[in-house]
Structure 1
């Protein structure tokens, strides 16, 4: 980590910014538990609802950074500052979303905003996003969350935390938790030496992401 490049409070989106320096990391420093609810309307994906609950250490760091009045809590204005900072920091990373249809990336609209809350001494981030174009549930559609920088580990601790509201008949939902060794072996042909030297320099970390997989016939 390079010296003399400590970041300010504007870096509070710790997954890619808070305490994130120019040198790359190959393992996570921030941890979050996630929930993802996919809403389906008329056999099309209408929206993704994300909830991320961050670990105590990172949450306490955010509290210190954004508690401008020193009362050891985050008021509405301070929480908005947190949300706005995370929103800006994650824009270039697609808000850590993974959405594919039959293996091809699906373009997502940027969320209108992020909401920050602080519950039981933990930072919570909530947001909703929608596909840019109609996304019918045909073939295999995958949803997940991953940090291409490997700085943040966002995980779904229970399969039930990846849910579908309005799943059409003829569709099946499953949760896929890739084994890292198997994921590397299966993608060996597309992984270059650059990935192993600096896995943060591309978006291939998505091959390790836990995914909600919806498979539909017809």
Structure 2
């Protein structure tokens, strides 16, 4: 079965082909999948940052699409076990998209390992992917930046209104600052316009990144 994100990638390619055919730019495109995230930045007892635990809730239309073909014992009810094969395929597909999660420690890019502790849940017509994304090498730092976004802006990532991001096990005194892309709408719009004028559309989604900053003493 083709995973959620591979399906999205195929659709993205089709959208790009259509845009090119009709002479449209990505500036006239828009997201086709919507994700609402709740995330945790996880720390080890020694104070090192170990990774990010995500819960990504997909919009109801895409949830319905993703569940096509899955057999269940009870109609409309999907257990974690029944969704396990799809969950595995999806997290494996995430690697092709850098997990839509980008981290820097003291300005230096960090590499993530493969997702673990992953599973899918289904409730109120919404499919949610849960997983932990570990750093390949845990690191201690006074400055951490994590961004969540799709560079192509085919998938729109927004964060939950209540408790969108939290720290788990962080050292005492660490301060969390979360910035939604709408917090800098004017700046993002100006930057995106500049990018399109220059013909650089490869990282358009970065203009709509959700930014998480942590400063520790």
TM-score range, shorter chain: 0.7 to 0.9
> 3-state SS of the aligned residue for 1:147?
coil
Quick one: which of 120, 124, 130 aligns to 2:128?
124
Question: How large is the RMSD of aligned CA atoms in angstroms?
Answer: 3.0
Matched, 1:17 2:21: no
- Counterparts in 2 of 1:98-137, with a 5 A limit? 98-112=102-116, 114-137=118-141
Partners of 2:163 and 2:154 in 1: CA distance: 25
Q: Note the C-alpha offset of 1:36.
A: 0.6
SS state at 2:170 partner: coil
Q: Match of 1:175, SS?
A: strand
Name structure 1 gaps, 5 residues minimum. Answer: 1-8
Partner residue, 1:147 = 150
Is residue 61 of structure 1 aligned with residue 65 of structure 2? yes
Match of 1:92 in 2: 96
Number of equivalences: 203
Q: Decide whether aligned partners of structure 1 residues 118 and 211 sit closer, same or farther in structure 2, where only a CA change above 3 A counts.
A: same
Q: TM-score, normalised by structure 2?
A: 0.78
8 Å contact 1:63–1:72 — kept in the other structure? no
- Structure holding more helix per residue: 2
Specify every segment of 5 or more residues in structure 2 that has no aligned partner in the other structure, as ranges: 17-25
CA-to-aligned-CA distance 1:176-209 (integer Å, 9 cap, x gap):
22424314657999888232xxx3xx34523421
